[in-house]
Amino acid sequence: MGFTVAPVEIRPLASLGTPLETRQREAAKKAAEDFESVFVSQMLEPMFAGIKTDGMFGGGNGESVFRSLMIQEVGKEIAKGGGIGISDSVYGEMLRMQGLRNDPVESPVQAAAAAMGLER
């Protein structure tokens, strides 16, 4: 019973830059996700504005405070779950502005338009 050794190609990993650049990338990613979270929360606010909460256990100043906190948390969860695609574009643009990325940032909308042949 003989064994043969399979050929293995070993390549160095692509460098992500210095530790400072890595921290800058992490900070930019968090800032982009936070931006999307706030944006989504602001979009959800009018949706909850029309809901009536009269009754024995509803209404009052306390509910308006807790409702805004709930909307913020819903926005955070939506952004954490992938969001609506804003954070990727914001993150790429932040990297480009900091000199950590040279190529132009293509938004998901631009990519979809190019795939459908609608590019100008």
- pTM exceeds cut of 0.95: no
Domain range for residue 90?
19-49+61-115
Torsion of CA 30, 90, 24, 37, to 10 degrees: -10
Residue 12 lies in a domain: no
User: CA 63 to CA 66: how far, in whole Å?
Assistant: 5
Residue 14 lies in a domain: no
Per-residue pLDDT tens digits for 49-99: 877 777 666 777 778 788 889 999 999 999 888 888 888 888 888 888 888
Residue 7 lies in a domain: no
Q: For residue 31, is pLDDT > 90?
A: yes
Of the CA atoms within 13 Å of residue 39, those in its CB half-sphere come to 14
Per-residue pLDDT tens digits for 40-61: 999 999 988 877 777 666 777 7
Residue 6 lies in a domain: no
